[in-house]
Structure 1
């Protein structure tokens, strides 16, 4: 199995629920900051309603008094996303250790019967089979509905990863909520 493709067991079982709505939703259509804020707000609203939602969302540096972090929705544990490379550096500042720790932490929390998994995005690292790609695959194998965002730059890789079974959603809590309700109805 290629690290960057959806597990064949998932394709064989079908990644769509009984109503024919893909159990994988992804948000596009606004800036990354807007999309992340909408996904985070939606996830927190579900948590506040007592829903078993798992996931990692990106929290802007302005909210944590430094660089952006990944925050686990349930435990509120934080993981560094960026490393300081010094003034004038033009290298990628992604903290691969922090990303790996966040991904491992999240993957360890996944359990059968969870209502939803939210992962902030499918990006470059995931397209290369790193980052949160293991958590994406595990959620698919456990039949946990999945919500993420995808930068259009990685759309082709995302479609290959999901076998084209994901549903594109606009960046609004209302649209995501409608998708989520279809997931709940199909499970009941």
Structure 2
């Protein structure tokens, strides 16, 4: 079932916004530290969080593009950047790594109080990546938090429609939203 189908059937999560919140950030400025702090705030209050936080490692001498996703539930880091060598001029997403990360979150989200989808980026805007994870969380009626680079806001609105609430990325705001 897609997010659109979940919305069309009228199924709701725990709040009037379809159980979906999102935070928007400036293109190229992923807020890993703020997301990590927000997740820790919720975990310190006993909430179970499943999901992913994007981590960018220092470039190695073999590659200038080392992106990983950290599984919040386990701390495991999964590489999502193809190693294209030092001569490469751009990064390319490793879809097999992304699929591993998706499966890791899916294995933990049934018992979660919140699912965090680190980014609704270009791949998700085109219908792939972690987009299905948002729909599956909605279908399972588990609240979901999604990160949005500014350039993908329009694609997000096309996907989510009127559902979803923009929130500031801080633990207290997320906690109040989850408690509503």
Q: TM-score range by the shorter chain?
A: 0.7 to 0.9
The answer to whether the 8 Å contact 1:28/1:35 transfers is no
Give the aligned length.
174
Structure 2 unaligned blocks of 5 or more: 59-64
**In the alignment, which residue of structure 1 is the partner of 2:62?**
none
Q: Does 1:54 align with 2:54?
A: no
CA displacement at 1:42 relative to structure 2: 0.9
The answer to whether the 8 Å contact 2:48/2:114 transfers is yes
Q: Provide Cα deviations, 1:112-166, integer angstroms capped at 9, x if missing partner.
A: x521111111111112222112211110001111112111211121111112311
**In the alignment, which residue of structure 2 is the partner of 1:127?**
125
The answer to whether the 8 Å contact 2:36/2:53 transfers is yes
Question: Of Structure 1 and Structure 2, which has the larger fraction of its residues in helix?
Answer: 1
Moved more, 7-16 or 68-77: 7-16
Give the Cα–Cα distance (whole angstroms) in 2 for the partners of residues 100 and 34 of structure 1. Answer: 21
**In the alignment, which residue of structure 2 is the partner of 1:24?**
20
Q: Does 1:182 align with 2:177?
A: yes
Q: Provide Cα deviations, 1:39-91, integer angstroms capped at 9, x if missing partner.
A: 122112322332111111112314xxx92311111111110021221233234
**TM-score (normalizing by structure 2):** 0.82
CA displacement at 1:30 relative to structure 2: 4.0
Structure 1 unaligned blocks of 5 or more: none
TM alignment of 1:51-130, pairs within 5 A: 51-62=47-58, 67-111=66-110, 114-130=112-128
CA displacement at 1:106 relative to structure 2: 1.3
The answer to whether the 8 Å contact 1:21/1:182 transfers is no
**In the alignment, which residue of structure 1 is the partner of 2:61?**
none
Q: Secondary structure at the match of 1:46?
A: helix
Q: CA RMSD in A?
A: 2.4
The answer to whether the 8 Å contact 2:27/2:149 transfers is no
**TM-score (normalizing by structure 1):** 0.79
